[in-house]
């Protein structure tokens, strides 16, 4: 065969990746379980480049030069295993299979090991950028062995987004590291979106702006430090009018956010690693609350007669909040949430021996992906200059940035609480910063309680050692 690379799984993401490869001059073999999809691709877009239509897995394998490079873009989970089961017996030692779907990173670790036993090189490739990104240049997060990257990387780097001449694609680390990083990316995406949503809610509620003014506000913010894809499309979505009713689009959409599960995976993994990603966690929980429609209705009704003294309505003076406060708070909260995400990547890397360079992430997230933002350039610089800083919040640039905006963030959370506007991510990241800054935390009391009921022991501030107080006897302290 003479094709340099294959794509199997030609739903919209796979189709667009295949077209992206062909448009960049690569000879691409295309295959899909349901052949009509592959035929349609060649029919419709064949003029864009050099496609080879493969009707079967055998034809796909035969179409490729060696070592073969096969990109799998099917539904994550069982479908991926089904495709691997079909392909692998047809492959030769040294061939490369890259899973570009949204696999759980633990599945990728498992598949990498299983295929390595058979001499097949496996890559888990995180791809972000949606349909348009897949076609025009996504951000790509590959996890694989270095020799595999040598064969596969040049293809991925050429089709990825670029900032100046730098590709938004680099080898993240071994086996599951690419999908791990993609997962954290998606978690950050959850918190970014929820923060934007909370900001919108406060602008419309307590500040009383009409929706078109909120749209204008986000549009103006996109020329500031908040410049980002998500802020830009927020302005567009908010400015959109429903053709049917003439009402703002955002007012006719049912307010129950869905999730495909990567936020949940991020939180589950973070809990396993013991890393507090409170922004991502609250964003994930907020989606669950929004989708809990029956309970929402029941509790709303049950609490209807309760007057909790909230200001309600749109009394901006009563809550002491300005539009500029929200801009500053949104930036600060984003920074905190990114800091938490980067901490999680560092811990995951340590736990799995992946040796991930955190500066790589912010660098390849600068363009192509959903969380692309001006902020990511500054994060890259800070992490490069201070690789050993235990938190992004401990780097000079971002310590100053957050310190400057902390009063605004506090006013935003205060206003949210006073007006009864739920702002779980704003509240959570502020509490996180306050906890990190605190001289003493009430964790000391928690330790005392644990020692009381479970003899779990404690350490002292003034002496080395582990201690237990004999609570049920004379309350003497003993060395444990």
Binding site for ligand 2AM (CB under 6 A): 9-11, 14, 32-34, 37, 74-75, 79, 82-83
Cα distance between residue 64 and residue 83, in whole Å: 17
Least CB distance to ligand 2AM at residue 300 (A) = 38
Kindly tell me which of 37 and 410 has the beta carbon lying closer to ligand 2AM.
37
Is 129 annotated to bind a ligand? Reply is yes
Question: Which of 119, 120, 84, 88 has its CA nearest to residue 103?
Answer: 84
Structure tokens at 294: 């029956």
Kindly tell me which of 82 and 449 has the beta carbon lying closer to ligand 2AM.
82
Least CB distance to ligand 2AM at residue 72 (A) = 9
Least CB distance to ligand 2AM at residue 13 (A) = 8
Q: Which of 182, 198, 282, 334 is catalytic?
A: 182
Structure tokens at 461: 């501030």
Is 344 annotated to bind a ligand? Reply is no
Least CB distance to ligand 2AM at residue 265 (A) = 19
Q: What are phi and psi of 167, to 5 degrees?
A: -70, 145
Least CB distance to ligand 2AM at residue 12 (A) = 9
Residue 280: which residues within 8 A CB-CB, separation 6 or more? Answer: 187, 188, 190, 191, 263, 266, 267, 270, 337, 340, 341
Residue 97: which residues within 8 A CB-CB, separation 6 or more? Answer: 70, 72, 84, 87, 88, 91, 115, 120, 121, 122, 123
Residue 450: which residues within 8 A CB-CB, separation 6 or more? Answer: 456, 458
Residue 101 · residue 72 · CB < 8 Å? yes
Is 102 annotated to bind a ligand? Reply is yes
Residue 271 · residue 232 · CB < 8 Å? no
Is residue 118 flagged as an active site residue? no
Kindly tell me which of 131 and 434 has the beta carbon lying closer to ligand 2AM.
131
Structure tokens at 258: 């869905």
Strand partners, 228: 373
Kindly tell me which of 7 and 329 has the beta carbon lying closer to ligand 2AM.
7
Is 260 annotated to bind a ligand? Reply is yes
Cα distance between residue 29 and residue 47, in whole Å: 14
Is 104 annotated to bind a ligand? Reply is no
Is 346 annotated to bind a ligand? Reply is no
Residue that the structure tokens 């689009």 belong to? 249
Q: Which of 151, 189, 198, 282 is catalytic?
A: 189
Kindly tell me which of 10 and 423 has the beta carbon lying closer to ligand 2AM.
10
Q: What are phi and psi of 122, to 5 degrees?
A: -115, 140
Kindly tell me which of 73 and 277 has the beta carbon lying closer to ligand 2AM.
73
Is 473 annotated to bind a ligand? Reply is no
Is residue 86 flagged as an active site residue? no
The CA-atom distances, in angstroms, between 406 and each of 83, 118, 292, 327, 409 are 50, 55, 32, 12, 5
Cα distance between residue 261 and residue 263, in whole Å: 5
Is 393 annotated to bind a ligand? Reply is no
Least CB distance to ligand 2AM at residue 119 (A) = 23
Annotated binding site: 9-14, 32-34, 74-76, 102, 128-130, 185-186, 190, 260, 287, 450, 456
Annotated binding site for substrate: 102, 128-130, 185-186, 190, 260, 287, 450, 456
Annotated binding site for NADP(+): 9-14, 32-34, 74-76, 102
Just list the catalytic residues: 182, 189
């Amino acid at each position: 065969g003479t094709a340099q690379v294959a794509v199997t799984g030609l739903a919209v993401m796979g189709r667009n990746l295949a077209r992206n490869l062909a448009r960049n001059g690569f000879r691409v073999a295309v295959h899909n379980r349901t052949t009509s999809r592959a035929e349609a691709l060649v029919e419709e877009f064949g003029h864009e480049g050099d496609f080879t239509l493969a009707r079967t897995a055998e034809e796909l394998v035969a179409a490729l030069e060696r070592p073969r490079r096969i990109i799998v873009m099917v539904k994550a989970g069982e479908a991926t295993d089904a495709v691997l089961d079909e392909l692998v017996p047809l492959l030769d030692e040294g061939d490369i299979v890259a899973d570009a779907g949204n696999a759980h990173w633990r599945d990728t670790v498992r598949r990498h090991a299983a295929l390595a036993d058979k001499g097949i090189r496996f890559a888990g490739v995180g791809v972000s950028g949606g349909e348009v990104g897949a076609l025009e240049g996504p951000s790509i997060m590959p996890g694989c062995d270095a020799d595999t990257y040598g064969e596969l990387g040049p293809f991925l780097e050429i089709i990825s987004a670029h900032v100046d001449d730098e590709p938004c694609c680099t080898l993240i680390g071994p086996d599951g590291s690419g999908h791990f990083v993609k997962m954290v990316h998606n978690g950050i995406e959850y918190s970014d979106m929820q923060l934007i949503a909370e900001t919108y809610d406060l602008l419309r509620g307590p500040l009383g702006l009409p929706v078109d003014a909120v749209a204008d506000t986000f549009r103006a913010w996109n020329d500031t430090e908040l410049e980002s894809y998500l802020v830009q499309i927020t302005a567009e979505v908010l400015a959109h009018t429903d053709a049917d009713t003439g009402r703002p689009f955002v007012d006719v959409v049912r307010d129950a956010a869905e999730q495909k599960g990567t936020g949940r995976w991020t939180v589950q993994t973070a809990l396993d690693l013991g890393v507090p990603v409170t922004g991502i966690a609250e964003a994930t929980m907020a989606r669950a609350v929004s989708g809990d429609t029956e309970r929402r209705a029941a509790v709303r009704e049950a609490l209807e007669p309760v007057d909790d003294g909230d200001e309600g309505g749109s009394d901006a003076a009563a809550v002491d909040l300005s539009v500029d406060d929200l801009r500053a708070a949104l930036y600060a909260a984003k920074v905190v949430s990114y800091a938490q995400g980067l901490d999680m990547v560092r811990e995951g890397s340590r736990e799995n021996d992946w040796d991930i360079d955190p500066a790589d992430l912010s660098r390849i997230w600068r363009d192509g992906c959903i969380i692309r933002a001006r902020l990511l350039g500054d994060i890259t610089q800070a992490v490069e200059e201070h690789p050993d800083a235990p938190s992004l919040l401990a780097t000079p640039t971002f310590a100053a940035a957050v310190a400057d905006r902390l009063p605004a963030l506090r006013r935003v959370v205060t206003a949210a609480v006073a007006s009864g506007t739920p702002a779980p991510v704003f509240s959570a990241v502020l509490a996180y910063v306050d906890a990190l800054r605190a001289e003493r935390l009430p964790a000391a009391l928690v330790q005392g309680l644990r020692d009381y009921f479970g003899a779990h022991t404690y350490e002292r501030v003034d002496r080395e050692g582990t201690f237990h107080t004999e609570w049920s006897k004379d309350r003497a302290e003993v060395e444990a």
